Amino acid sequence: MLLVIDIGNTNIVAGGYREGDDSLLFHWRLSTDPHRTADEFGLFFNGLFAYEGLSLRDVREVILSSVVPPLTPALEGMAEKYLGLRPLTVGPGIKTGMNILYEDPKEVGADRIVNSVAGYAKYGGPLIVVDFGTATTFDAISADGAYLGGAIAPGLGISTEALFEHAAQLSHIELVRPKSVIGRTTVSSMQSGIIFGFAGQVDELVRRMKAELGGRAKVVATGGFAPLIAKETSTIDVVDEFLTLEGLRLIYLKNKE
C-alpha cells in the first residue's frame, strides 16, 4: 500500500492507495499542529489504520508534500520509526514530469506543483487549478503541461478570522450560503460578504488568467472550502476534492520508475 500525506498550514490530509490501483482506499484530515512529534504521529496513524481494519505493516511506500517545514522531519521520522520506510518528500530533485517556468522554481509550494501534476494528468491543458486552503492559490498550466505560475490570495478561513479579530461587534459565524446577497441580519450580511465576495474574487482572477492563456482553460477547484465557494462561481468547471492526494500518487509512480 502507498501512503500519501499532504502537510498543509491548517490541515494534514492523508490517504492510501493499493499498488496498481488508482482508486483512493481511505482518507483522513487532521488539524496541523507544528509541535507534534514523530511518536505522536505514529500513534495517530496506528489508530487510524486500526479503525479502517488495516495495519501499519500494510504500508510499503510513503510520499509526502509539505508547506510546514517544522513538521516535515516529524512525519519523515514517523515513517522511518513506525513503518520502517524512508519516505519520498516532494521537493528539489524529485521528478514531477512538469516543466516549471517560475523564475525561481524553489519558491513554488510543493502543494501547488502536486495539484498541477494531478490536474494536467486528469484534465489536460490549458488548465487553472484553484486551491481553497489556508491561502487561496491559483495555478496556471499550459496546453503542453508546463507550470506557468499563478496568484496567491488570503484564504477564506484566515480572512474571516481577521474580520472577527479586528471588528469588536462581529462574532464568529457559521460559513453557510445566505438566502440572499442583501443580508437583513449581521450574520447573514457577513455570510453574504464572505461567500459571495470570495466567489467574485475567484471569477475575476480566473477571467484575467484565462485571457493570458489565450481565452480558454478548464478550471478545477480543490481544498476544504471548494464545495462551498465553487457553486457560487461562474468559472469553476469541476470540484476535485482529492486532487492533491492523486498528484502525490502520480509523482510517486514517476520516481518509482
Catalytic positions: 111
Cα dihedral: 86, 91, 96, 99 (round 10)? -160
The full length of the chain comes to 257
**What are 189's three cell numbers?**
450580511
**What is the number of other CB atoms lying within 10 angstroms of the CB of residue 257?**
6
Dihedral of alpha carbons 24, 88, 253, 60, sign: negative
- 164: phi > 0 → left, psi -120 to 50 → alpha, else beta; which? alpha
Q: Residue 26: name the closest of 54, 61, 66 by CA.
A: 54
- The residue type found at 239 is V
